[in-house]
Structure 1
Amino acid sequence: MAEVIRIEALTKNYHTDAGEVSVLKGVDITIQSGEFVAIMGPSGSGKSTFMNILGCLDKATSGNYFLNETDTTTLNKDALASLRNHVIGFVFQGFNLLARKNLIDNVALPLVYAGIGAKERKVRALEVLKSVGLEAYATYLPNQISGGQQQRVAIARALINRPKLILADEPTGNLDTKTSQEIMDLFCELNDKEKITIVLVTHEPDIAEYSKRLINFVDGRIQHDGLTAHFQASHV
């Protein structure tokens, strides 16, 4: 099984008026293709900083980060952006949809940056909207659909470039319990059927249990890394 993520001795420091603050302290992680990993930890534990580095939105102070077998530490800003756009799909807590664009245009937005023509953008956007059960709402605006449906649109947008990896940051944070379950079932389906690697940050233990592997951060270090109880029980 191929590695999608390999992190070696990763550190991240920030310079503040009070001096240097160490946020990540020698983190080592390998995530294989097809894994579903939940990341948890208290506020200030380093999990958000870690996710920003995984998403090539920030750079480590030291250590190595290989994404899809590419050493990200050797890449300039443009090369990082290209790698990010081709390999990663992002899903955020706040959906981040464009209010004045219909669902097709919202989903197709990453293809605009990739230089894909308008006709192919529409075809592919409709294809992924169908995969999340929203093809009938393609011409709706975001404020015409529910929060759960908006998150499905955000997931469709994350899928449009056919990524190897989805990074989801608190994707159920703005949703009720029933809708959260539906969104997590969709992530499980993408992982099981499409074999997309998923790394998800959450503060909710019941959401983390949908994953197959749990990593806990405390004070910039990994306190725990192992199979979730739910996954262990289903494979006894």
Structure 2
Amino acid sequence: MTESAPPLIEVANLGKDYPTGAGVFRALDDVSLRIAVGEFVAIMGASGSGKSTFMNLLGCLDRTTRGSYHLDGQDVGRLSSDQLAALRNREIGFVFQGFNLLPKLTSLDNVALPLMYAGMGREARRRQAQAMLDRVGLGERSHHTPLQLSGGQQQRVAIARALATRPRIIFADEPTGNLDSETSRQVMDLFNQFNRKEGITLVLVTHEADMAAYARRRIRFHDGRVIEDVVTEGVPA
């Protein structure tokens, strides 16, 4: 990122505390960093290091205790719950380890769901959802429910859903954690293509070094603090 380019994500002295029976647990402590438009960043660290807490804050799923967070120039800490929900729907897509698909809905309807929340008409959202399923190679599975799909196919539906609203940033939390190695590679190749060819900013939370190798920047957490922030070559699309 050049000095003149405004960051998509900027956090300064970020902190997050949780009350416990033994006192206050400091999950994040004095984190400051920037992520530019189009970056592919891997967030790493052991269990309890703060990486998932950090993703939840960046994804506007939780609020900070201290410090500031600006997303695309907006001070997230000043937004109401309704404004945060609108920001998530407009700017952010999520992919999780457990897929989080609604079991009774078809692939098409799962992908169309965020478009419905965005206020898009039924026919338009179904066309856009079908187009996204085509792009992840599941166009012929649009009328299958999650139980009729493999784990890798379910994750591709989840990726199509995350991309349906054409967000600027995707947060992926251990997206290959429930997949075998070959299917994991296919999913990561898909992420890599959307990042490198379309410039979608991607923040990947993972504990797997071979998955983090796809990213071109690696940030490692330990005890709620950033202990490593390095630029890497990544895997070509």
TM-score between the two structures when normalised by the length of structure 1:
0.96
1:152 aligns to what? 156
How high is the sequence identity, in percent, across the aligned residues?
A: 56
2:116 aligns to what? 112
**d(CA) in 1 for partners of 2:42 and 2:20?**
30
2:11 to 4, 7, 15: 7
1:191 aligns to what? 195
SS of 1:30 mapped into structure 2: strand
Cα RMSD, aligned residues only: 1.2
Q: Post-superposition shift, 1:150? A: 0.6
Deviations 1:185-211 (A, max 9, x none): 000000011100000000100100011
What are the ranges of 5 or more consecutive residues in structure 2 without an aligned counterpart?
none
**Would you say 1:26 and 2:33 are equivalent positions?**
no
2:182 to 178, 182, 189: 178
Q: Post-superposition shift, 1:144? A: 1.1
Deviations 1:2-50 (A, max 9, x none): 4211000001111112111111110001000000000000111111111
**Would you say 1:49 and 2:53 are equivalent positions?**
yes
Q: Post-superposition shift, 1:56? A: 0.4
SS of 1:3 mapped into structure 2: coil
SS of 1:43 mapped into structure 2: coil
The number of residue pairs the alignment matches comes to: 232
What are the ranges of 5 or more consecutive residues in structure 1 without an aligned counterpart?
none
**Would you say 1:131 and 2:146 are equivalent positions?**
no
1:217 aligns to what? 221
**Would you say 1:201 and 2:205 are equivalent positions?**
yes
Write out the 4+ residue segments of structure 1 that deviate beyond 6 Å after TM superposition.
none
Q: Post-superposition shift, 1:114? A: 1.1
